[in-house]
Amino acid sequence: MIIYQLLKINHRVKNHRIKFFGLWLLNLLNKRTLSVYFDPVLACNLRCKMCYFTDKEYTLHLKGIIPRENLGFYANALFKNALKLQIGCGAEPTLYKDITKIIQLGKHYGIPYISLTTNGNLLTQESIRDYSNAGLNEFTISLHGVIKESYEFFMGKGNYGKFFSNLLLISDEKKKNPKLKLRINYTFNKDNFLELENFFDVFKDISIDILQLRPIQKIGNTEYQNTNLDSLKDVYLSLLEKIKVIAKEKNIILLSSGSLYPRSSSNQNYLTPYTYCYVSPNYCWREDFNYTKETFSQWSERTHWKSKIFSAILKNKKDLEKDTGTEKLNYSVDIN
């Protein structure tokens, strides 16, 4: 799982100048540097209470779908330079009929790691098999409650039975395709965190490879607004420690943060503005990037991208923080 090894290296290398030098070199050689986050459709079947899909104002602007015939343009423009393709970022990708085609294009252009981030409710035995056969490397399934009551409370319209049986189907598919991984993203708040105590019992029959523990963040005027995690301060690190021990025993990669709140001084994210590539029906990489007319490497030449990265090597941390914008959590990657 090269992508998690790279994440670990990124976490370990503290010197931002070394990171930027590496990125500059990769760009110079026209290698893969982008993490492409691909939202083919801006809609969702669920209404999770922590998510902006419960913010009526926000969802008014969330619409659009990428026509199937345009997929080839995006792939041609970006995929040759993509290190990772994540299908599903800000909406629900399984509402899109041509996920298999996106995965096939990703494979065609040799992307080393292709992941699908989904609430999992609309998956079927057939779609799981199709995605796996097309070359999907990872299902990332989002979870907001370990037990049925809190799952269905926090994941409005979500069906725990359906979700759980799909996890079993993915676990079965993994036996046929050992390259396929299953990641769980647990987004926690002060009301669902302690349930993690029972996580490994409840999911004992599910073949999990990666577990991410992700604290709630304020992302709009959502139905559940309680983003204050102060009440967890005394229990957070002790429960995290227990989870780390079990994850290690079970050979599960754990992505977690030592702090409950984002810190702006996290140097892990300085590269993000230079590597994070968002694609949706309304946006692709940069405002001045026309994916139907140019490729990333042509855009790079036109905009002197390599020089910009080179100048980042010389920037101090304060300036890089301004580039990074929003504060991010510094996730540690625990791999055996």
Ligand X SMILES: C[S@@+](CC[C@H](N)C(=O)[O-])C[C@H]1O[C@@H](n2cnc3c(N)ncnc32)[C@H](O)[C@@H]1O
219 binds, among ligand SF4, ligand X, none (CB under 5 to 8 A by kind): ligand X
CB of 238 to ligand X, least distance (A): 22
47 touches, from ligand SF4, ligand X, none (C-beta below 5 to 8 Å by class)? ligand SF4
Nearer to ligand SF4, 46 or 111 (CB): 46
C-beta atoms surrounding 174 within 10 Å:
20
Closer CB to ligand X, 41 or 78, in the complex: 41
Q: How far is the CB of 204 from ligand X (least distance, A)?
A: 22
Q: Could you say which of ligand SF4, ligand X, none residue 70 binds, taking C-beta under 5 to 8 angstroms by partner kind?
A: none
- Residue 95: CB minimum distance to ligand SF4, A: 10
What are the b/e assignments for 210-221, b being 16+ CB within 10 Å?
bbbbbbbeeeee
Tally Cβ neighbours within 10 Å of residue 261. Answer: 13
Q: Angle, to 10 degrees, between the axis of helix 125-134 and the axis of helix 160-176? A: 40
CA 34 to each of CA 5, 126, 149, 287, 291: distance values in angstroms, whole numbers, following the listed order? 16, 30, 39, 17, 15
Which residues contact ligand X (rule: CB under 6 A)?
44, 48, 50-51, 88, 90-92, 117-119, 142, 185, 187, 214, 216-217, 219
Closest residue to bound ligand X by CB: 142
Nearer to ligand X, 91 or 196 (CB): 91
DSSP string, 275-305: HEEEEETTEESSTT--TTT--HHHHHHHHTH
With CB under 5 to 8 Å by kind, the binding choice for 136 among ligand SF4, ligand X, none is none
C-beta of 90 vs 281, nearer to ligand X? 90
Residue count of the chain: 336
Q: At what angle do helices 99-108 and 125-134 cross, to 10 degrees?
A: 20
